[in-house]
Amino acid sequence: MDENTVRGTGSIPMAIKLSLLIVSIMVIATAIQGLIIASQQGELLEHEIEKFGFATSRLLVRQIKEPLLAKDDLALEQIVQSSVRDNGVAGITITSIEGEKIARSGFNPTFDVSAIETPVAWADLQQQQYISFFEIAYSNDLKIGEVLVTIHADSLDKVRSDATRSIIYSTLIMIVIGVIITAWISRRVTGPIVRIINISRKIASGDYQARFNEKSSGELAVLVQSLNAMTTQLLHKIHLEQTFSRYISPKVAKAVLAGMAPQELGGKEVNGSVLFADIVGFTSISETMKAEKVSQLLNDYFTYIDQTAHHCDGHVDKYMGDCAMILFGVPDPDSNHLSNAVYCALLIHRVIERVNRDRLEHGDVAVSFSAGVNAGPMLAGNMGSRSRMEYTVVGDTVNTASRLAAISGPGEIIVTEAVAKNINIARQFETTEVNAVKLKGKKNPITVYRIDRGNEETEHKLDRDLGIILSAVESGE
C-alpha cells in the first residue's frame, strides 16, 4: 500500500475529499464574486445609459423650443440629424402638440411611449435592444411639443454575456488552481495522517515494534508522541501478558491484566472438570538421573501435555512435581467440559505413547502417565494470602480426581461412576467397571470406571489430533 493512500471499503480517500472540498469552495466563491461583479457592472451601465438618455432628451428639449415655436421644420430636422450622428443616439422623434411627427431620424418604437413611464426598454425584429426616453417641451408652461430619444442598449447584454464568460473562465482557472493547491496540501496535510493510519494498522495487526517517526509540530506532534507512548505501553502489556501466562493460566492472566478477575481472596462455586496426569514411578526414575536431566525430562513431557490441554479447550492450572493439574470449564464456562476432559486424557496417552517411542529410539528415558478425571462443583478463586495468592480450584471434586490418578495404572484413565454414566461420556467412550476402591479421605469405598477407548468417530479424531499436537510442539507454536 502506498504510504499516502488509505482506503477503506467503499470509502473515498481523504486527499480526494479534501481536494473536492477546497475546489468546491473556490468555485462557489469565484461564481458568487463573478455574479456580484456582473450585477454591479450591469447596474452601473444601466444607470449611465439612463443618465445619458435623460440628459440627451432634455438637451434636445431646450434646443427645439425656438424652432417649434417658429415652426421651423428644417431647423428641427437638422437638430435631429446632428444629434443622431454626433451623440451616438439610435433615434429621435419630435412630435407637435397635434401629434404630428415633425422631425424623425434613426430607430424609434412604433408604439406610443407617451402613455408609458419612461425609460422603456424594447427590441426590434432583429432582437436589437433599445431604451427610449420621452420628454415634453414647454414654453411658459404651455406644451409645444414632444421629444422621443432612443439609444442602443446592446451594451447591457454584452456586459452580461462578458460577465458570464468571465465567470466560466474564472471557474475553470480556479478548478485548475484548486487541483494544484490541493495536491500540494494533500501531501503536506494528509500525508502525515495517512502514514499514522498505516502504522496504526500495522500495530492493530500485531506488529508492536512499529513506531510513528513522523516529524511534525503542533497538535500532530503531540498525537505522534501519544501514539508512540501508547504503543510502548501496549508492547509492555503484551510482553507482560505473555510472561505472566507462563506462570499461571493464560485465561486467568488475561482476566487479571484486563481487571476482570477479582483481586480479593476467596472464590465462588462453579461446575467444571479436572484432570490429573501423573508420571508413574517418578521417584525411582529421578533417583537414577541427574537433576538437570530430571528437569529436562519433565519439561519435555509437560510441553506436550500443555499443548494437548489447550487443544482440548482446557488449561494447565499448575504443575506439582511430576503431576499436571488441568482444568476444563474454569474460569470460562463450557458446557462440554466433561467430554473435553476425558478426551484430553485419552489424547495425552496417545501423545505420550508416540513421544516414548521416539525417545527410546534415541536412547532417552521414557515414562508413563496415569490419569484421573472427575467433574462436579468446585470452589474457584484466589487462594493463599493477601501478599501471595494464586487462582485455582479446591473441593471434594478436585481431591477425588487426584486420588483417582493415584490409583490409576500406567496409561490408564480412572473416573467416578457419575462420570462414566454421563450420557455424553457413555456415547463417546468405552468404559469398564473396576472393583470398588477405598480412596484416601473417603469413608466408604466407591465404584470407579476405566476409560478404555473412544468410539469409532472419537478414535479417528484422536488419530488426527495426535498429528496436530506433535506438529505444533515440533514447530514451537
Q: Per residue in 169-211, pLDDT tens?
A: 777 787 787 778 777 776 676 667 777 777 777 777 777 666 6
* Lookup: cell for 349: 496417552
What is the reported pLDDT for 158?
A: 67
Task: Compute the average pLDDT of residues 336-365.
Answer: 96
Asked if 146 and 135 count as a contact pair (C-beta separation under 8 A), the reply is yes
| Grid coordinates of 466 | 495426535
What's the rounded Cα separation, in Å, for the pair 3 and 419? 59
Residue 378: per-residue pLDDT: 95
44 versus 102: the higher-pLDDT residue is 102
Please give the average per-residue pLDDT across 319-348, as a whole number. Answer: 95
Average pLDDT for 14-39: 74
| The residue to which cell 490541493 is assigned | 182
The segment(s) of the chain belonging to CATH 3.30.70.1230 are 265-475
- Residue 207's CB is within 10 A of a number of other CB atoms, namely 11
More confident residue, 450 or 1: 450
| Alpha carbons 407 and 325: distance in angstroms, whole number | 16
Reported confidence tier of residue 251, pLDDT bands at 50, 70, 90:
low
Q: What percent of the chain has pLDDT over 70?
A: 81
pLDDT at 115 over 80: no
Q: 337's torsion region: left (phi>0), alpha (psi -120 to 50) or beta?
A: alpha
H or E element at residue 319: strand 314-320
- Tell whether the torsion through CA atoms of 212, 214, 219 and 222 is positive or negative: positive
pLDDT of amino acid 1: 45
Calculate what percentage of the chain has a pLDDT beyond 90. Answer: 35
* pLDDT grade for 257, boundaries at 50, 70 and 90: low
pLDDT band at 3 (very low <50, low <70, confident <90, very high): very low
Q: What pLDDT score was predicted for residue 69?
A: 85
Instruction: Check residue 418 and give its pLDDT.
Output: 95
- Evaluate the CA torsion angle 198, 200, 206, 212 in order and state its sign: positive
pLDDT band at 216 (very low <50, low <70, confident <90, very high): low
How buried is 294 (Cβ within 10 angstroms: 0-12 exposed, 13-18 middle, 19+ buried)? middle
pLDDT digits (tens, 9 = 90+) for 138-161: 888 888 888 888 887 776 666 667
Top-level class of domain 14-159: alpha beta
pLDDT in the model for residue 277: 97
pLDDT of residue 126: 65
* 127: amino acid identity, one letter: Q
How many other CB atoms are found less than 10 A from the CB of residue 473?
Answer: 17
- Report the alpha-carbon distance of residue 397 to residue 375 in Å, rounded: 6
Give the C-alpha separation, 65 to 138, whole Å: 8
Report yes or no: 65 and 144 within 8 Å, Cβ to Cβ: yes
Question: Model confidence over 418-428: pLDDT tens digits?
Answer: 999 999 999 99
State the Cα–Cα distance between residues 298 and 473, nearest whole angstrom: 15
Q: Categorize the per-residue pLDDT at 376 as very low, low, confident or very high, splitting at 50, 70 and 90.
A: very high
State the span(s) of the chain assigned CATH 3.30.450.20.
14-159
d(CA 137, CA 311): 115
CATH code for the domain defined by 265-475: 3.30.70.1230
- The per-residue pLDDT for range 378-393, each reduced to its tens digit, is 998 888 787 777 878 9
Kindly indicate the confidence band of residue 113, based on its pLDDT and cuts at 50, 70 and 90: low
